Structure 1
Amino acid sequence: MAPSNKAAWILTARAHPMEVGVAEYPTVGAGELVVKAAAIAVNPMDWLIQTMGEQLFSFLKYPYCGGDDVAGTIVEVGSGVNNFKAGDRVFGVATGFSAREGAFQEYVVLKAAVTCPIPASVSFEQASVLPLGICSAAAGLYQEAYLGLDYPSLDPSPKGETLLVWAGASSVGTNAIQLAVASGYEVFTTSSPKNFEYCKSLGASKVFDYHSATIAADLIAALQGKKCAGAFAIQRGSEVVCFEVIAKVEGTKFVACAMPIFPDKVPQGLSAKFINAAAVAAPNEVGEMIWTKFLPAALENGKFKCLPQPVVVGHGLEKLQEAVDKGKAGGASAQKLIVTM
């Protein structure tokens, strides 16, 4: 007999709060895992879907179970999966927009291709902060239609290029810095002054105050004599400054954008594109290079850090709405809100 399952549901479009209720226990499919959740992290996408989901994604069906980031223990392994077994501690990204694949439930379906073992030294809470941030960062950094950087390794050779990452203390920024450094690129980033040391601990060589009135001029001056590998604009509106900077320095004239960008807002001679994290969550070369070939070893030897720091809002599915609301209100700087199970 299958275990009972519960989920935090958005019952109708824009319904608030989520309601915890019965959910179908998922049947594991080929290439999939069923994971019993131990820690769930929330992301900006969660409150965006709750407040305007039907506008952003017309295909959403209600009741809706959302969420992307989860860490837990494998209870079932689907056919064709040879690198995991029941009892393994793992984290992964819940990739779908269906109730079956949402992370906001007790038992979650994950694709094995975007699931990673958790080292003994890492807690469920720490691991839960990574999944969507990694997919979003990798989507902008490595896909050929975006920045097209070289893949990361445990012993990267210097590429002689500098990447600009705007909002380095964010979840996506934290992962983008670490991945880019592991790929051999120098990283310049921006943050508030209180997070300068945090960004440097990730591997950024220089950090700039994004509140400064001279931020564009400061970045342009710092990049003189360097070859720029492009820019990753993570904060809303930051693509405008990134455009100004990369237009005036040598190198790649492309900005990967974590927020939607309208083509008519891109200056002539430059290119920009809104990232699609789901593209990396699907089985493909980028996903395999990051999730299978790099992350397990990089986490095991400490080359890649489980950051931002997790902040536990509470325990149980009933606390997810509080976590989502806190994220909408401003979240936590250089931290990520999670709920334990």
Structure 2
Amino acid sequence: MKAVKIQPGKTVGVEEAPLPTLRESQILVKIAAVAINPTDWKHVEHGFGGGPGSTVGCDLAGTVEKAGPHSRFAPGDRVASIVQGCVASDPTSGAFAEYAAVDEHAAFKLPADMSFEDAASLPVALVTTGLAFHDLGIPATLEPVRRGEPILVYGGATSVSQAFIQFAKALGFEVITTASERNREYLTKLGADHIIDYHDTDKCIAGIKAALNGRELKLAHDGISEGDSFRIVFSSVTPGPDTRVTLVLYLPASDVPSGITATTPNGTLALGRAVDYAGMHFPASPELAKAHAEFTLLGEKAIANGVVKPQEIKKLPGGLDGIKDALALLKEGGGSRAKLVLTIS
């Protein structure tokens, strides 16, 4: 098969590669479409995870080619999933290829009317949302069990935040989010109740406080985790033993104000294996793998019922040969709101 591999000199190229070997409880998927995530180009440029020879990519959609006798999947099923890209110990692990070994508990079936390109925009967003809900103590359900409770989603137009908003609304949360004015109508359709412009930090904090109208804010998700986002989020929540914030980038514990518990969900830990990333070692977490398995089934149901919809996508040409340019485009900011996707087969 062909696969996009990291090359010397912090770049990528298409190479011939062997088919991945399936572990127990994995399925073989013929990849039809992939999506580009910031972590993809960061792995290539900064050497996170595997180096030259590693396969790149996390988001995929395609058709099951092979499944075990006790699998809930069968050959021909249309699925989407997250996989771990850029793995030093397994150079075949990654989404940007013609085939991938996919963990069954991470894969979800697609509605008949959903394109592979739309589906490829979902897996990383779903796994990160699911792990964020786990860290925030939010139950994996589509019932309105948190009706009227405020929650802050900073950076509402990001891929993860779009999924987060839709799930939060299904649970009954009153969603306060931040975004540019041009994204107001779009995020309103996703279910956001209050949309605050983030460009002026002090005005943004004041806008969030106004939306709270004197209520305490105990839960927040920072979908940017850079620059002024920390100040805005930490200034908006009410410190206390039950106050929790999830981030998408790591922040030293010493930088987190007292009275706030801040965690960074790591989507690759949801696959149930240890992860070496950016010079750090994360041991395998059966707890997170179980939480992800439960949320994946919930996500499959939410997508089938139309509760959660794919985000806008921007289709790019070239298939696997177009991945290099797609990574450069995303790095330069070309993926605002719309997910960059490529058709593979």
Q: Please confirm whether the aligned pair reaches a TM-score higher than 0.5, indicating the same fold.
A: yes
| One of 269, 272, 275 as aligned partner of 2:259 | 269
| Structure 1 CA distance for aligned equivalents of residues 238 and 299 of structure 2 | 34
**How far is the alpha carbon of 1:210 from its aligned partner?**
1.0
| One of 29, 36, 40 as aligned partner of 2:23 | 29
Structure 2 partner of 1:181: 169
| One of 304, 309, 314 as aligned partner of 1:311 | 314
Local SS of the residue matching 1:29: coil
Local SS of the residue matching 1:228: coil
**How far is the alpha carbon of 1:70 from its aligned partner?**
0.2
Q: 1:38 to 1:297 in 2, by over 3 A?
A: same
Q: Which aligned pairs between 1:192-207 and structure 2 lie closer than 5 A?
A: 192-207=180-195
Most deviating of 120-129 and 254-263: 254-263
Structure 2 partner of 1:91: 80
The alignment covers a number of residue pairs equal to 323
Structure 1 partner of 2:126: 134
Are the aligned partners of 1:151 and 1:289 in contact in 2 as well (CA < 8 Å)? yes
Are the aligned partners of 1:161 and 1:226 in contact in 2 as well (CA < 8 Å)? no
Are the aligned partners of 2:63 and 2:76 in contact in 1 as well (CA < 8 Å)? yes
Matched, 1:255 2:253: no
**How far is the alpha carbon of 1:262 from its aligned partner?**
1.3
Q: Which aligned pairs between 1:326-341 and structure 2 lie closer than 5 A?
A: 326-341=329-344
| Structure 2 CA distance for aligned equivalents of residues 166 and 195 of structure 1 | 13
Structure 1 partner of 2:220: 231
Matched, 1:288 2:288: no
**How far is the alpha carbon of 1:251 from its aligned partner?**
8.8
Q: Which aligned pairs between 1:292-303 and structure 2 lie closer than 5 A?
A: 292=297, 294-303=298-307
* 1:251-274 Cα deviation digits (max 9, x unpaired): 942221101101111112222122
**How far is the alpha carbon of 1:241 from its aligned partner?**
1.2
Are the aligned partners of 1:256 and 1:272 in contact in 2 as well (CA < 8 Å)? yes
Are the aligned partners of 2:54 and 2:92 in contact in 1 as well (CA < 8 Å)? no
| One of 2, 12, 17 as aligned partner of 1:6 | 2
Give % identity. Answer: 32
Structure 1 partner of 2:56: 66
Q: Which aligned pairs between 1:135-154 and structure 2 lie closer than 5 A?
A: 135-142=127-134, 146-153=135-142
Structure 2 partner of 1:244: 235
Local SS of the residue matching 2:175: strand
Are the aligned partners of 1:92 and 1:131 in contact in 2 as well (CA < 8 Å)? yes
| Structure 2 CA distance for aligned equivalents of residues 252 and 207 of structure 1 | 25
**Unmatched segments (≥5 aa) in structure 2:** 273-285
Q: Which aligned pairs between 1:103-142 and structure 2 lie closer than 5 A?
A: 103-142=95-134
Local SS of the residue matching 2:7: coil
TM-score by length of 2: 0.88
| Structure 2 CA distance for aligned equivalents of residues 255 and 318 of structure 1 | 39
**How far is the alpha carbon of 1:303 from its aligned partner?**
1.2
Q: 1:279 to 1:302 in 2, by over 3 A?
A: same
Are the aligned partners of 1:9 and 1:19 in contact in 2 as well (CA < 8 Å)? yes
Are the aligned partners of 1:91 and 1:115 in contact in 2 as well (CA < 8 Å)? yes
Q: 1:286 to 1:183 in 2, by over 3 A?
A: farther
Structure 2 partner of 1:51: 45
**How far is the alpha carbon of 1:69 from its aligned partner?**
0.2
Are the aligned partners of 1:233 and 1:256 in contact in 2 as well (CA < 8 Å)? yes
Are the aligned partners of 1:230 and 1:246 in contact in 2 as well (CA < 8 Å)? yes
**How far is the alpha carbon of 1:11 from its aligned partner?**
2.3
Structure 2 partner of 1:42: 36
Letter matched to residue 106 of structure 1: E
Letter matched to residue 300 of structure 1: A
**How far is the alpha carbon of 1:202 from its aligned partner?**
1.3
| Structure 2 CA distance for aligned equivalents of residues 70 and 271 of structure 1 | 32
* 1:16-47 Cα deviation digits (max 9, x unpaired): 2x111101112333211111111010100011
**How far is the alpha carbon of 1:160 from its aligned partner?**
3.5
**How far is the alpha carbon of 1:101 from its aligned partner?**
1.8
Letter matched to residue 104 of structure 1: F
Q: 1:281 to 1:206 in 2, by over 3 A?
A: farther
Are the aligned partners of 1:70 and 1:91 in contact in 2 as well (CA < 8 Å)? yes
Are the aligned partners of 2:157 and 2:183 in contact in 1 as well (CA < 8 Å)? yes
Letter matched to residue 63 of structure 1: G
Letter matched to residue 85 of structure 1: A
Letter matched to residue 22 of structure 1: E
* 1:275-301 Cα deviation digits (max 9, x unpaired): 211233436332122112x12222122
Structure 1 partner of 2:276: none
Structure 2 partner of 1:212: 200
**How far is the alpha carbon of 1:330 from its aligned partner?**
0.2
| One of 143, 156, 180 as aligned partner of 1:168 | 156
